[in-house]
Amino acid sequence: MARRVHYDGLTSLVGVELGTSDWVLIDQARINAFAEVTGDHQWIHVDVERAEREIGGTIAHGFLTLSMMAGLSPSILEIDGVSRALNYGFEKLRFLSPVPAGSRVRLRETMTSVQAKAGGLALTRACTMDIEGALKPALACDWIGVVYP
């Protein structure tokens, strides 16, 4: 269940671990669909037979895992009193561990900064995309979004 806060209360969340999303399956169908949309058909993602033979199985695109954050984040934090929200970018983005096809991932967020920006608030969240049962996350980054009242 998402944490709910009003725009005026966002600064109270600095330093707070906001929580985690539900686990989401990264199956071969999702990987193939992402390859079709992006045109990235590198064999480590889409050639199941070769990948099984050479590296033990296919892995998800790093950008697939990254792009899933946009859909998972609302399950962690809902902000009332906002007219629109925009992605501003990422800091310290690192892909730390491959995500094997058939794995489940979840997003974890901590609010690290809330600052005034262009008539709104820039929210910086430390994010990791955990892989179920893995020692290291798939990725880690600071994600910056701007919300407007």
CA 23 to chain centre: 12
Q: How many CA atoms lie within 13 A of 18 on its CB side?
A: 31
- One-letter amino acid identity for 54? E
pLDDT average, residue stretch 30-39? 98
On the question of pLDDT at 1 being above 90, the answer is no
Other CB atoms closer than 10 Å to residue 135's CB: what's the count? 7
Q: List, for residues 55-65, the tens digit of each pLDDT value.
A: 999 999 999 99
DSSP-derived 3-state class of residue 90: strand
Domains and CATH numbers, the chain: 3-148 (3.10.129.10)
